[in-house]
Chain A
Amino acid sequence: MNFGETAVQKELRDLTRRFVQKELTSIVEEDERVERFRPELIQKLGELGLTGIPLPEAYGGAGLGYLEYTTVIEELAAGNTGYAISVSVTGLTQIILNLFGTPAQKEKYIPSLASGKAIGAFSLSEAGSGSDAGSLRTSAKREGDHYIVNGTKLWCTQGDLANTVILLARTGEPGAKGISAFVIEKGMPGFRYGKREKKMGWNTSHTVELIFEQVKVPASNLVGKLGDGFKIAMTALDSGRITIGATAVGIARAALNTAISHSQQRQQFGKPISAFQGVSFMLADMAVQLDAAQLMVQRAAWLKDNSLPHSHEAAMAKLFATDMAMKVTTDAVQILGGSGYTQDFPVERYMREAKALQIVEGTNQIQRHIIGRNLTQVSHSS
């Protein structure tokens, strides 16, 4: 086994880190406060080749794997979670099209997304269906060579900014089998976005309601086959679990580094607080958990890159990494003490951001359900 970083991964890490320092560091805290997202930064990331990493070069992607993808996501998350999530979501849009789209769909939509000129979104959840995605109600009824879409979606990241949205809607029977996937384009009559959520964190990221009122969607915008929607969504979530895991690792590493640095500088009782076991053992536990999480995320990415089954490992990585990030960021606030509680330092923001990671992309309770089911019903070799 080779645990080292390749030259390409190192280059991507450095490139992303430089982008963060140049474009994000000075604006993040204020943007968080006023809840502002800058779409032009996605364009800039696109120019650096960072918005379509796992997509084929034929469509403008970088043609790389998830080990490279997660490296970039990690570094972006350390800069600002909103942008890590944005790249993950726009990436997801492309990945779904790449796996399930027709050649025409791929040609039409992927290149502009991969280059960062367009932004993508993914819309599955509704007010009445989060974890129970299969019970979604937004409908798409066939009428001639169109589908007429009606309904309201919730929790859509950058759904108001996106040019291209992958929508999951009901085309058939109740339950998972009656769901299909469609490409929705910004500006389609009857399609609009509703309220923006005010959230605990991720405040640069727009989270919106999507409203569909008699939206005519061409039948050629169906992605995959009728009834494939749930399968498409689940495949997408496998990918999302790995990138969420990487996001967790990125935030946690930023928090740990801040805590270590503070503990070396802050003096009380005549010595740096890192001299007290109470602080150093906390740092030790944080580092061990972070390391383990990073390895789990990398392992899931490696399996995926090698076309091996990875669903189980992705779920475990997501669960572990996000629980880890919650603990590490909370402990980072503790180590920075009173300072850590103020907005003078980023650690309280990391703590607020970590919480969402335990919820999105399949709550950690759903992850445990999946993992437990895998263990007891399916004989698993990995």
Chain B
Amino acid sequence: MWFFSEEHRMLQETVRQFSKDVLAPRIEKLDDEEGFNRESFYKMGELGLLGITVAEEDGGAGLDAVAATLTMEEMGAVDASTTLSYLAHTILCVNQIGKNGSPEQKKQTLPKLISGEWIGGMGMSEPEAGSDALGMKTRAVLKGDHYEITGTKTWITNGPNGDIFYCYAKTGDDRKDISTFLIDRQISGFSTGKKFSKMGMRASPTGELVFDHCRVPVSKRVGSEGESIRMMMRNLDLERITISGISLGIARSAIEVATRYSKERKAFGKPIGAFQQIQERLTEASAWYEACRSLTYQAAKMWDLGLMKGKEASMMAAKAKLQSAQMATQVALDAIQILGGYGYTREFPVERYMRDAKLMEIGAGTNEILRVIIARQMLGNDVVDAGS
């Protein structure tokens, strides 16, 4: 983008090279076997990617939303699964600790998370609370110097393999009584439940977190009791902007593969790119991708410049994700179509792009929820709530 700084461009180069060297060689097999590229996190640590938004004085790279987004675009173009795990680690866990943790909490957790020695995750969703995040039921009851936490979290990226989780739980009966806790895998009463087999993002482990009267010291509570909603929602906004980068990356790769194929594959005596039906799919894909790219980086830049008030930021983030996610699914489907029979085999990456892209319309806020967020900003809460 025209407003990328020199630092952004260098970062882009670095991540592109990292993705090519460390992610590309393994993704096909990991996707097939539902594995995880653990080693890549140590390398990301070395490159300073894991604490990308954390302040330098806390050991982070001190970079911005644009930097995080372009990192996800470059990684997502090669291996969307690992990028998703990276997002859960870096934005949903590390960024939150960096922004909201006490000095003590930061000191205890950030060094190992930023080096890659630990893998982080975040626990919000539950079996009965997906889109209705505030309907969560996991309960933390204060008992003197510790909380006892009971409940189940689901759809947790890095759930099966994470070392530490940034978890939300109810500390009161009101929907808004939500608090945040740093959960170590080792604590008593904590276990990871089932691991999901998924359509795509198969090299990003997804599982359940089970809390059975877990003893969590009060010192592990992040921020004040019952005060987490604002921090939770704010981070969802940043997550939506940056996760759009993954959609952009997937789409970009799909377009590249389809374009190359259209020049090389011959039928009826000519390259198939000579046929207008193929051109229509490619050009529409490319134009929509450009539009989403502009929208996403615009949202990231405005975030970094502090140009948007709270709800405006939520709306921009929602628009960026809503468009980018839908665009990536459609572009990936069209890329498969252009590659015909070959596109349907696992010999070419486009079928994986489609399987990976679809999740982006669901996780981190479904298309439907994002539309409600935008509607609230455009029409006002009174109008939107009158519909229920």
Contact = CB atoms under 8 A, between A and B. Distances in A.
B330 to A, nearest CB: 9
A7 to B, nearest CB: 39
B120 to A, nearest CB: 20
Contacts, number: 123
Interface string A268-299: 11000000111100000000000000000000
Contacts of B206: 342
B337 A334 contact: no
A343 B199 contact: yes
Contacts of B132: 268-269
Contacts of B311: none
A352 B202 CA distance: 15
Interface string A353-368: 0011011100111001
B345 A198 contact: yes
Given A155-B341, A342-B197, A359-B341, A368 B277 contact: yes
B347 A198 contact: yes
Interface string B157-185: 00000000000000000000000000000
Contacts of A369: 277
Interface in B328-363: 329, 333, 336-337, 340-341, 343-347, 351, 354-355, 358-359, 361-363
Interface stretch (B40-48, B88-96, B239-247, B366-374): B366-374
Contact of A330 (B358, B366, B368): B358
Contact of B130 (A199, A276, A333, A338): A338
A268 B135 contact: yes
B288 interface: no
Most buried by A among B132, B343, B344, B387: B344
B150 interface: no
- Which secondary structure dominates chain B's binding surface? mixed
Interface residues of B, number: 48
B366 A334 contact: yes
Interface string A330-345: 1001100110111110
B340 A200 contact: no
Given A276-B368, A278-B368, A369-B277, A341 B358 contact: yes
Nearest to B272: A131
Contacts of A267: 128
Nearest to B278: A365
A326 interface: yes
Contact of A341 (B129, B329, B362, B371): B362
Contacts of B343: 359
Contacts of A90: none
Given A330-B329, A368-B277, A342 B199 contact: yes
B64 to A, nearest CB: 30
Contacts of A360: 341
A201 B135 CA distance: 36
Given A132-B267, A334-B367, A355 B344 contact: yes
A340 B362 contact: yes
B190 interface: no
A200 B267 contact: no
A342 B341 contact: no
A200 B362 contact: no
A301 interface: no
Contacts of A368: 277
Contacts of A135: 267-269
A200 B344 contact: yes
B275 interface: yes
Contacts of A155: 341
Contacts of A125: 341
Contact of A334 (B275, B345, B361): B361
Given A132-B268, A197-B345, A198-B346, A359 B340 contact: yes
B131 interface: yes
Interface string A15-41: 000000000000000000000000000
Most buried by B among A267, A340, A352: A352
B155 interface: yes
A49 B347 CA distance: 38
Interface string B116-129: 00000000010011
B345 to A, nearest CB: 5
A56 interface: no
Contacts of B112: none
23 contacts: A129-B267, A130-B267, A131-B267, A132-B269, A135-B268, A155-B341, A198-B345, A199-B351, A268-B129, A269-B135, A333-B358, A338-B362, A338-B363, A341-B363, A342-B198, A343-B196, A343-B199, A348-B199, A355-B351, A358-B337, A359-B340, A360-B341, A363-B337
The 5 closest A-B pairs by CB, nearest first: A348-B199, A200-B351, A132-B267, A268-B132, A198-B346
Given A125-B341, A268-B135, A341-B359, 9 more contacts: A128-B266, A198-B346, A199-B345, A199-B351, A268-B129, A333-B199, A341-B198, A342-B206, A352-B355
Interface of B: 125, 128-132, 135, 154-155, 196-200, 206, 266-269, 275, 277-278, 329, 333, 336-337, 340-341, 343-347, 351, 354-355, 358-359, 361-363, 366-368, 371-372, 387-388
Interface of A: 125, 128-132, 135, 154-155, 197-201, 267-269, 276-279, 326, 330, 333-334, 337-338, 340-344, 348, 351-352, 355-356, 358-360, 363-365, 368-369
